[in-house]
Amino acid sequence: MLSPYDFPPLVGAELAIADAPGTRVPTVHAAAGLRESMHHVNAAPSVSYSITVRLEAPAGGAAVSHLTTSVEEADGLVIALDVTASGHERLQIDVTCAARDADHADEIVAVLRALPGVVIGKVSDRTFLMHLGGKIEMMAKHPIRNRDDLSMIYTPGVARVCLAIAKNPEDARRLTVKRNSVAVITDGSAVLGLGNIGPEAAMPVMEGKAALFKRFGEIDAWPLCLDTQDVDEIVSVVKAVAPGFAGINLEDISAPRCFEIEARLREALDIPVFHDDQHGTAIVVLSALINALRVVGKELDEVRVVMSGAGAAGTAIMKLLLDAGVGYIVAADINGVVHSGRTGMDAELAWIAEHTNPDGLSGTLAEAMVGADVFIGVSAPNIITAENVASMADKSIVFALANPEPEIHPAEATRHAAVVATGRSDFPNQINNVLAFPGVFRGLLDAQSRDITSEMLVAAARALAAVVTDSELNATYITPSVFNPDVHTAVAKAVRIAAGGPVELPTQTEPII
């Protein structure tokens, strides 16, 4: 019998303990609280919960086929099966499979362990493997091969460049990384659907954001996770680091503090400040709505929109829809419909009450939905029913965007709605911020914009919508794939032009000095 130690073990998340003393990195076993909150979310196996099981099995007979069959009978999905070592009587095999969640992954491992003759070795969580050591790095643009290179990249040659910038600070955009750099800033107070988990725990999300900036926008983005949730301190820190960046992307900062932080930074800085949770979401929602209305044959200025959720994303969506020409919006939150006669409203809710709900409706979300053309939810799971959707106008549109569980299951919504979208990747028409922010910032940087306006956001949304051609458009394809090569270039060009930049970028952007 082969020993598991005869071959190098698969490097698993559990091995990170040896790489980082004093830290604990889970393997298949997720933290209990996260596991409980996510347990019922993924109905189908997902690569985000995929594992690789290194095991030994008998070399003869149907042992290998039993591995695949057992995983499938446990409702898992076999992705790959690799023989990593072979002997006369035993095989060493890496079985890679997808599960619904962490508990399901444990169940699959238990099923494999129960097979006759199978010995389980290492079990590795593939998502944790991808995060070992972080997901991004800094790389030099020029090689440092000899003393000549060193003397130009660093001292003494760099001193002349410093003096040139000191004489004309605007040259920092030409002569440093500033021209293509964005700061991704969070305080960890509203990370994904996980809540206030702090700056360290927010780092994997911010690294991922930086990686997406690079992949889809060719932008150098740097995560800055701040160990403070004080508004004044956050504003002060961002102002202090701003000289090294051409743009600020605020991320996962809870409402209502995010409104004040963004407003104060926009007032204080001469570079664009963009809160992606607000404006990235709003751009993609507007884009998807434009295309959904193309499907059902309605116009922006004619439809009645009902929204659930008046936080950061909801407020930004409302404002952008109004700027784009939507004439009728009614918003509801946990306390019901927002209207001018309601008491106890903060400044943002008061703004919503003043600029929406022209008929002065009050009451519940369900009552507001009667006769509406569009429902947009950025609130909480399972708060509307198929009956609520049935009460809407003919050819209704439902965007149930709460994540990971939407306001209504898409299968229920499609019983009555003509077009349904969610925030999830396992259903058609995903409303995904990645469709917006790389192109938005690419356009801002190329235009050397000092700020960002609603006209730029609307231009981005219309450009994104136009990527879906008439021949492609249907009820289950109103948003393009994030991997569509036209998405980010189209958005970038629209924003660049709206920001006063050139229609076409020159092929040689810098003169020879």
Give the contacts of 32 (CB within 8 A, at least 6 positions apart): none
Q: Tell me the β-bridge partners of 97.
A: 51, 78
Question: What span, in angstroms and rounded, lies between the C-alpha atoms of 476 and 418?
Answer: 10
User: Among the options 5, 49, 135, 154, which is catalytic?
Assistant: 154
Q: What is the token pair recorded at 103?
A: 């508990």
Measure Cα distances from 135 to 31, 140, 205 in Å: 21, 17, 10
Residues contacting residue 290 through CB under 8 Å, at least 6 positions apart = 300, 461, 462, 465
Catalytic pick among 178, 209, 298, 319: 209
User: How far is it, in rounded angstroms, from Cα 225 to Cα 184?
Assistant: 8
Separation in Å, CA 307 to CA 329, 331, 445: 7, 5, 33
CA distance 148 to 459: 47
154 is catalytic: yes
Instruction: Note whether 345 and 310 are within 8 A (CB).
Output: no
209 is catalytic: yes
Which token pair is 479?
């948003």
Which of 394, 379, 297, 303 shows the shortest CA–CA distance to 338?
379
**Residue 286 has which token pair?**
């507007």
Query: Which residues carry out catalysis?
Result: 154, 209
